Amino acid sequence: MTQSEAPAHRTAALGRVALIAGLGWIGLNAAILALAHGYLPFDRPHMAGQPFWLQLAMPSLAMIEQFALMGLVAILSRGRPVTEIGERSPPASTAGREVALVLAYAMLAQAGGWFLGAALGFRPFSFHLAGTLVGCSVLASPAEAIIWSGYNFIMFAVAPYVWFRRRYSNRELCLVFDRSGRDVVVLVWVLIVESAVQLAAMPSLFSLPLPVILRAAPLTFFLFLFGTVLPTMIIIYAILLPRYYKLTRSVSITVILGGLTYAAMHLVEGWSSFATPSDTVLSLLFVFLSYTGPGMFKSFVTLRTSNAWVHAIGYHAVAPHTLLDTPMIARVFGLD
């Protein structure tokens, strides 16, 4: 292939990926529409008053905002080679083995959380505490919240980090900030924009008295930092994402794989219903509808900065979790 043919080839490949992804997204929505018959059997009190069509449309509307944020990140990080993240990965053969092993471990650890939660009398543990973002009919207890956070931190952050840190530096794991401060610029802008969007959509934080916010917000931040933010950052974006890029050499495919992996780590959510086969399929489909978009944005910003901390702080720990889940945590711990 000549140099003049290469851009056209990349454009054609990107078009094929976009077409397949778009058809997949339409198919996912169509499957939910066919199974739901106008009703979603989920335990989501914050969404209970919303019409069915809006509940179904919300992930797609969120995807539009996520693509707009990707555009902002692309502008803020222009001039930085995306290929840098691939240079931090081992050879493709090693990367492939590591991806397979990490995915297998992640699924086993996730299944372990399902059984541990049930064994302790709680709901199955996932990457989100029951009630996160959408509420739940029965609040988690303080013990459930603390054990959930500790389990995820140990299994998805500490153990993978310790294992990979023996062979790879923090820079190779995308855990080092750019010295020129460019990562901080991206982080701050993403945090500002996403915080504004989240608070405009769900302003429940403002319903709390200031003393309650001052007590509950730090607790919420650290509970979700250890329970979902650091686990997500380490196992997906520090370890798997650079290896996805090494294996595919495609930004678009890597972004999609990162989004699908993020969704797969939320298979059993607190709002899920497994009462019937139809409810089970709907729950699993809706997980991918809800979490693929956020996972794709996390992938994109990590590729553009080669720094997994940017999404963790700018698009996870504060917005949405601290901003939206502080009222729930205030109730869980009796701080309100």
pLDDT attached to residue 11: 58
pLDDT attached to residue 20: 86
Question: Structurally, how many domains does the chain consist of?
Answer: 1
196, pLDDT greater than 80: yes
| Band (160; pLDDT cuts 50, 70, 90) | very high
6, pLDDT greater than 60: no
**HSE, side-chain direction, 13 A CA sphere, residue 24:** 13
Closest to 57 measured CA to CA, from 91, 33, 93: 33
pLDDT attached to residue 5: 47
Closest to 162 measured CA to CA, from 173, 152, 151: 173
pLDDT attached to residue 180: 81
139-to-3, 135, 252, 331 alpha-carbon distances in Å: 59, 8, 39, 8
| Residue 171 and residue 88 in contact, taking contact as beta carbons nearer than 8 Å | yes
pLDDT attached to residue 204: 92
Closest to 243 measured CA to CA, from 103, 96, 102, 107: 96
Give me the percent of the chain exceeding a pLDDT of 90. Answer: 85
| Residue 234 and residue 157 in contact, taking contact as beta carbons nearer than 8 Å | yes
Q: What is the pTM of this model?
A: 0.93
| Band (22; pLDDT cuts 50, 70, 90) | confident
Q: Which residue has the higher pLDDT, 55 or 1?
A: 55
**Within the chain, where are the H helices?**
5-36, 52-76, 84-87, 92-119, 142-152, 159-165, 182-201, 210-224, 230-232, 241-248, 251-264, 277-305, 308-312, 323-332
Spatial separation of the C-alpha atoms in residues 222 and 229, rounded to whole Å:
9
Backbone angles phi, psi at 268, to 5 degrees: -115, 100
| Residue 307 and residue 180 in contact, taking contact as beta carbons nearer than 8 Å | no
Mean pLDDT within 258-272: 95
- Sorted by sequence, the CB contacts under 8 Å of residue 144 that are 6+ apart come out as 117, 120, 122, 123, 129, 130
pLDDT tens digits along 92-135: 999 999 999 999 999 999 999 999 999 999 999 999 999 999 99
Q: Which residue has the higher pLDDT, 85 or 283?
A: 283
| Band (14; pLDDT cuts 50, 70, 90) | low
Spatial separation of the C-alpha atoms in residues 273 and 270, rounded to whole Å:
9
pLDDT attached to residue 40: 92
Token pair in block for residue 243: 């290896």
pLDDT averaged over every residue in the chain: 92
| Domain that residue 153 falls in | 5-332
Mean pLDDT within 305-319: 95
3, pLDDT greater than 60: no
| Residue 252 and residue 303 in contact, taking contact as beta carbons nearer than 8 Å | no
Closest to 127 measured CA to CA, from 278, 255, 316, 306: 316
Spatial separation of the C-alpha atoms in residues 197 and 320, rounded to whole Å:
9
7, pLDDT greater than 60: no
- Can you give 51-102 as a three-state secondary structure string? CHHHHHHHHHHHHHHHHHHHHHHHHHCCCCCCCHHHHCCCCHHHHHHHHHHH
The sign one gets for the Cα dihedral 141, 147, 151, 153 is positive
169, pLDDT greater than 60: yes
Token pair in block for residue 156: 């998805």
Provide Rg for the chain, Cα atoms. Answer: 20
Backbone angles phi, psi at 7, to 5 degrees: -60, -40
